[in-house]
Amino acid sequence: MGDKKVGIIAECVCDLPKSILYEFDIDTVYFIVETDTGVFTDTDEITAENILQYMTDGGGKSRSSAPPSEVYEAAFRKKLSKYDEVILVSISSQISRSFENAQKAVTAMGDEGKRVHIFDSHHLSTGLGHMVIKAAQLAKAGFSADKIIAELEDMKEQVSTTFITENADFLCRNGLISDTVRRICSAFSIHPVLEMRNGKIVLKGIEIGDYAGAAARYVRKTLKNPKKIDTKRVFITYAGCSVKTVNMIKREIEGCCAFEEMFVTKASATISSNCGPNTFGVLFVKSKGVSL
């Protein structure tokens, strides 16, 4: 442990509930969502419900972007007024320019920037959120910035970040898959299952048939080896799912694995705009040294 106090900053795409952010004094920087109707700050000015309704009603392509470097710089300076050092636990650099923009902010800060550390999580949403919580817990316990970063580096491969989408329409709309793949998914009632692997979004598998059955199978397959899962905490993070669907997910999880804590969180507008409605993930941490 070290003597210096370390403050933690996250991005809104970690999708953590406000209660956790408040508990650990985690500051948040917000992504930008651009639509045909204007440019909005995620969470503050636009929500997942807003963007999904806009796109479902025939709105054009939406585009999300990382906060500019000056936003990161302002956040770092604010946090450094309270802490000796700061760690930003960032969304994967493979899918966003946030890491790059944050690094530019550090450079612009000169010597003061030496007190700021940027960590590339290789994850998004509450997969990233798990790592933010870990960093905050270690910081609260008095660990040094270097030790926290080392622990997070070890944790990267242990986080399971997967999602199932009802269809491939939004993924195609935002250029994440081809129109050919979208048409195949539509024709055969195929529901893509995506995962974060080595910092990139890849197709993990598919579920076929009606969505309710596919969603339940996704949960059971994801949690098929409960002995290989750290049962401390699980997140259900969703975009545009009904209460009925969320309750079904809870029941399926409880039937598979006895987690100590289960959090249900809504995905940010940034995340939601890329995946579409009726998308959800079951996100957890694997037991140490286990790959599923």
Q: What is the pLDDT of residues 130-173, one digit of tens each?
A: 999 999 999 999 999 999 999 999 999 999 999 998 877 766 66
Residue 290 above 70 pLDDT? no
* Tokens 């081809």, residue located: 178
* 126 neighbors 15 (Cβ within 8 angstroms): yes
- Per-residue model confidence as pLDDT tens digits over 172-230: 666 666 777 778 777 778 898 989 999 998 889 889 999 999 999 999 999 999 999 99
Q: Would you state the pLDDT for residue 64?
A: 86
Q: Would you state the pLDDT for residue 291?
A: 45
Q: Would you state the pLDDT for residue 176?
A: 63
Q: Would you state the pLDDT for residue 288?
A: 78
Residue 37 above 80 pLDDT? yes
- Per-residue model confidence as pLDDT tens digits over 60-108: 667 789 999 999 999 999 999 999 999 999 999 998 999 999 999 999 9
- Count CB neighbours of 12 within 10 A: 21
Q: Would you state the pLDDT for residue 276?
A: 78
Q: How confident is the model at residue 1 (pLDDT cuts 50, 70, 90)?
A: very low
Residue 271 above 90 pLDDT? no
DSSP letter for each residue of the chain: --SS-EEEEEEGGG---HHHHHHTT-EEE--EEEETTEEEEBTTTB-HHHHHHHHHTT----EEEPPPHHHHHHHHHHHHTT-SEEEEEEPPTTT-SHHHHHHHHHHHTGGGGGGEEEEE-S--HHHHHHHHHHHHHHHHTT--HHHHHHHHHHHGGGEE-EEEES-SHHHHHTTSS-HHHHHHHHHTTEEEEEEEETTEEEEEEEEES-HHHHHHHHHHHHTS-GGGEEEEEEEEEEES--HHHHHHHHHHHHHH---SEEEEEEPPHHHHHHH-SSEEEEEEEEPTT---
Percentage of the chain modeled with pLDDT above 90: 69
Across residues 16-28, what is the average pLDDT? 96
Across residues 234-239, what is the average pLDDT? 96
Residue 55 above 80 pLDDT? no
Q: Would you state the pLDDT for residue 47?
A: 83
Which of residues 182 and 25 earns the better pLDDT score? 25
Q: Would you state the pLDDT for residue 277?
A: 83
Q: Would you state the pLDDT for residue 77?
A: 98
Residue 289 above 70 pLDDT? no
Q: To 5 degrees, how large is the angle CA 253–CA 256–CA 262?
A: 35
Q: Would you state the pLDDT for residue 181?
A: 75
